[in-house]
Amino acid sequence: MRIPSPWELPNRPTLLRTIVGAGISKRRVELAVGDGRLVRIRHGVYVGAGSWPEDPGQQHLFRAWAEQLVKPDAAISHRSAARYWRLPLRHEDWAHEPVWLTLPKGGTWRSERGAGLHQCVADLPTEHVTSSEDGFGITTLARTAVDVTRSLPLPEGLVVLDAALRIQCSRLLVQPRRRDFANHRLVATAREPFFEAAGVLRGMGPVKRSLSLADPIRESPIESLSYGHMVEAGLPLPTCQCEVRTPQGTLFPDFYWEERRLIGESDGRWKYVDSGAVMHEKEREQVLRDLGFRIVRWSGKEIHLSPSVVMARIERKLLAP
């Protein structure tokens, strides 16, 4: 009786034809799937069970990789690429999120949407595609942010763009510091690939407006979302993360309206850069009030669920004598 030679299971998504080309029969592949040693990611693409990630987000990227293997002219894009670049998205359900691919115009492909795959046909210059460390084709950070933002209202779009700009700025520096994100020349340089990506696509006027408002100085999705709602509400726009010196240390409030000496805090967390002076929240607030600042607060839950309530609260504070 012939004993099959040992088979080293693939540790990355691999095409069936590649496995068969290495001398493994289709029957052995099916037996390995049946006994749980091999995972069929999609028809014709497999990975060893030991390499199949437990995290749903990573599983989503493996599914995207598998689709891209079948369609090598495509790039993983939109929300799938945003997962790779770690951009903040709302309504993340990676166990059920369809894979997003973009294919370049000029072929026989067509845009289509199914339960497991959203396929777009669009302009896709080679400079808008990069290769991940695992070797799959994926849209660049800038193109990804632009693609995702295209379908979002301004506040949600700023959440993505602020985060992407912060990553882009960090790439331009060896060890980024807080003040670097307020450097206008650095930020302008970081914005360039985003505007370039938006420039090759149609109907990107709203995205370009969002890009002009995007700022890497904002440190959390709640801050970005709040600022976007302030823009939409027509409120006077504050300075973000400006330096406020106090006897107890240096604070960086999320928002500051200098003319009204009003500080806005979107999550209740103050950031210190001094040697470890950490006061309790009420004590910090009292220090600011003693210095003549007025304060308005709101929670992340509020800005997500009731942004109009938050905007009305801020407006009342701005109008108060």
Mind giving me the DSSP string for 57-100? HHHHHHHHHHHHHHSTT-EE-HHHHHHHHT---SS--TTTPPEE
Q: From first to last of its 321 residues, what are the pLDDT tens digits of the chain? A: 444 567 889 999 999 999 999 999 999 999 999 999 999 999 999 999 999 999 999 999 999 999 999 999 999 999 999 999 999 998 889 999 999 999 999 888 889 998 899 999 999 999 999 999 888 999 999 999 999 999 999 999 999 999 999 999 999 998 888 889 999 999 999 999 999 999 988 888 999 999 999 999 999 999 999 999 999 999 999 999 998 888 878 888 899 999 999 999 987 554 545 444 444 567 777 888 888 899 999 999 999 999 999 999 999 999 988
Q: Which of 118, 36, 23 is nearest to 79 (CA)?
A: 118
The residue segments making up the domain with residue 109 are 56-219
Residue 205, SS3 per DSSP: helix
Q: Which residues of 235-265 are buried (b: 16+ CB within 10 A; e: fewer)?
A: eeebebbbebebeebebbbbbbbeebebbbb
Query: Is 16 in contact with 26 (CB distance < 8 Å)?
Result: yes
Return the structure tokens found at 257: 């309206």
**Is residue 245 in some structural domain?**
yes
What would you measure as the largest C-alpha separation in the chain, in angstroms? 94
Query: Do 175 and 114 belong together in one domain?
Result: yes
**Is residue 157 in some structural domain?**
yes
Query: Do 182 and 207 belong together in one domain?
Result: yes
Query: Do 78 and 215 belong together in one domain?
Result: yes
**Is residue 134 in some structural domain?**
yes
CATH number of the domain encompassing residue 231: 3.40.960.10
Query: Do 66 and 143 belong together in one domain?
Result: yes
- What is the structure's pLDDT at 140? 98
**Is residue 234 in some structural domain?**
yes
Taking each helix axis from N to C end, the angle separating 205-213 and 221-233, rounded to the nearest 10 degrees, works out to 110
- What is the structure's pLDDT at 1? 41
Domain count for the chain: 3
Say whether pTM exceeds 0.85. yes
- What is the structure's pLDDT at 163? 97
**Is residue 64 in some structural domain?**
yes
Taking each helix axis from N to C end, the angle separating 141-149 and 184-199, rounded to the nearest 10 degrees, works out to 70
Chain length of the chain: 321
- What is the structure's pLDDT at 201? 87
